[in-house]
Amino acid sequence: MPLKFPEMFLFGTATSSHQIEGNNRWNDWWYYEQIGKLPYRSGKACNHWELYRDDIQLMTSLGYNAYRFSIEWSRLFPEENKFNEDAFMKYREIIDLLLTRGITPLVTLHHFTSPLWFMKKGGFLREENLKHWEKYIEKVAELLEKVKLVATFNEPMVYVMMGYLTAYWPPFIRSPFKAFKVAANLLKAHAIAYELLHGKFKVGIVKNIPIILPASDKERDRKAAEKADNLFNWHFLDAIWSGKYRGVFKTYRIPQSDADFIGVNYYTASEVRHTWNPLKFFFEVKLADISERKTQMGWSVYPKGIYMALKKASRYGRPLYITENGIATLDDEWRVEFIIQHLQYVHKAIEDGLDVRGYFYWSFMDNYEWKEGFGPRFGLVEVDYQTFERRPRKSAYVYGEIARSKEIKDELLKRYGLPELQL
């Protein structure tokens, strides 16, 4: 049976500013790249800041009807009191180009990078810095005039964990106390943005929802998994509505707020085991080993997880978008299979009555994968980093076929030797 998606369903792709634009020299990542604290330099990245017209043309011709990208705060405010009108105008043009081509933009306001000057003041660690965020949001309201969908933060808990708990990413701080404080301040920042933007825009937040599996059937592993799931996935989202953010050490009071939609980023599953180590909050997390083949990131592929993530995220009664789902591989046939299998489960979620309104494949094109650099190839479109030439892969066309027809035809499954979803 062909799988029909709703007429209004968005079939898009996703990117972020620092990963594709190039020469983002006013943010914290750039700084750490230059001083060698990060292994790879983003440099010109995909040179999208010059090639954006071509890129939008390409996604139009491929038939996608939506595009998620992020505004680089440090481009608009390269210095504390300096506003960059040129960057403002360019983002305006990008939005206009998308709209005239019938592509719905979903704009992220913070995708891991912050202005260096803001980080030098302590970034989101200090509540008084939120006045700078507020100033940025006011400008954003002007900039996004014609946009409908706005997401405040991308993967806030990943930002917190990587930057303040594992110290694997900028600002390389390893302090559980600071980590939860940053999380609480991100929630306050979300509330500020919601207050200023809601009404004019649909304001949501993008949360990475990995499926967290217990390492064994043992009671203590199951409990540990539940605890990790709460700490990583749900306490943050719960707090938006309850006004109480439950960290490990204490509960933070934050303004009660709302989200008009939840963006779900889904890639893979994690496995959690109990440990007696209090420094690890009594649990250990590693990537789950549940598929024979691993992606270039070392991740297992678990399509059912997208369905599970949507089900769980539906608890808030808000519309859902898959704001990211993708695979890093050089085997493009595998990418086709990946997309179809995940979309089969998205379709099942819709059939079950969940309000899922769109799917954004990560990523439109190969790009700078943070600490992993340019190695992982997530793109539907291949990027030649020497010439910046874009070459759509076969998956780019197959996804376009699905996007245009808004269905997964039986013939498509046959073509790729894929079974219908076994329920």
Q: Which residues are annotated as catalytic?
A: 324
Least Å distance, CB 313 to ligand NOJ, is: 16
Least Å distance, CB 13 to ligand NOJ, is: 12
Pairing of strands 149-154, 104-110: parallel
What per-residue string of b and e applies to 110-127 under the rule 16 or more CB within 10 Å gives b? bbbbbbbbbbeeebbbee
The residue (of 265 and 341) whose beta carbon lies closer to ligand NOJ is 265
- Of positions 72, 155, 271, 332, contacts ligand NOJ by CB under 6 A: 155
The residue (of 206 and 408) whose beta carbon lies closer to ligand NOJ is 206
- Dig out the tokens for 236 from the structure: 């943050």
Q: How far apart are CA 62 and CA 409, in angstroms?
A: 18
Q: Site mask, ligand NOJ, residues 239-278, x = CB under 6 A?
A: --------------------------x-------------
The residue (of 77 and 112) whose beta carbon lies closer to ligand NOJ is 112
Q: How far apart are CA 126 and CA 148, in angstroms?
A: 30
- Of positions 170, 359, 369, 392, contacts ligand NOJ by CB under 6 A: 369
Q: Site mask, ligand NOJ, residues 277-316, x = CB under 6 A?
A: ----------------------------------------
Least Å distance, CB 92 to ligand NOJ, is: 24
Least Å distance, CB 326 to ligand NOJ, is: 7
The residue (of 215 and 383) whose beta carbon lies closer to ligand NOJ is 383
Least Å distance, CB 159 to ligand NOJ, is: 9
Nearest CA to 114 out of 192, 182, 207 is that of: 182
- 104 interacts with ligand NOJ by CB under 6 A: no
Residues composing the chain: 423
- Of positions 3, 5, 16, 59, contacts ligand NOJ by CB under 6 A: 16
- 5 interacts with ligand NOJ by CB under 6 A: no
- Dig out the tokens for 296 from the structure: 């270039």
- 72 interacts with ligand NOJ by CB under 6 A: no
DSSP 328-378: --S-HHHHHHHHHHHHHHHHHHHHTT--EEEEEEE-SB----GGGTT-S--
- 114 interacts with ligand NOJ by CB under 6 A: no
Decide: 204 and 268 in contact? Cβ < 8 Å.
no
Q: How far apart are CA 59 and CA 103, in angstroms?
A: 9
The residue (of 70 and 246) whose beta carbon lies closer to ligand NOJ is 70
- 154 interacts with ligand NOJ by CB under 6 A: yes
The residue (of 72 and 324) whose beta carbon lies closer to ligand NOJ is 324
Beta bridge partners of 271: 213, 286
Which residues, including other chains, have CB under 8 Å from residue 413's CB and lie 6 or more apart?
Answer: 340, 419, 420
Nearest CA to 347 out of 267, 408, 416 is that of: 408
With vertex at residue 284, the alpha carbon angle to CA 369 and CA 329, rounded to the nearest 5 degrees, is: 30
- Dig out the tokens for 290 from the structure: 């549940």
Binders of ligand NOJ in range 170-199 (CB under 6 A): none
The residue (of 19 and 421) whose beta carbon lies closer to ligand NOJ is 19
Q: How far apart are CA 364 and CA 368, in angstroms?
A: 12
Applying CB under 6 A, what is the total number of residues that bind ligand NOJ?
A: 8
- Of positions 133, 236, 362, 364, contacts ligand NOJ by CB under 6 A: 362
Least Å distance, CB 344 to ligand NOJ, is: 21
Least Å distance, CB 297 to ligand NOJ, is: 6
- Of positions 33, 55, 221, 324, contacts ligand NOJ by CB under 6 A: 324
Decide: 70 and 108 in contact? Cβ < 8 Å.
yes
Decide: 29 and 112 in contact? Cβ < 8 Å.
yes
Name the site residues for ligand NOJ (rule: CB under 6 A): 16, 19, 154-155, 265, 324, 362, 369
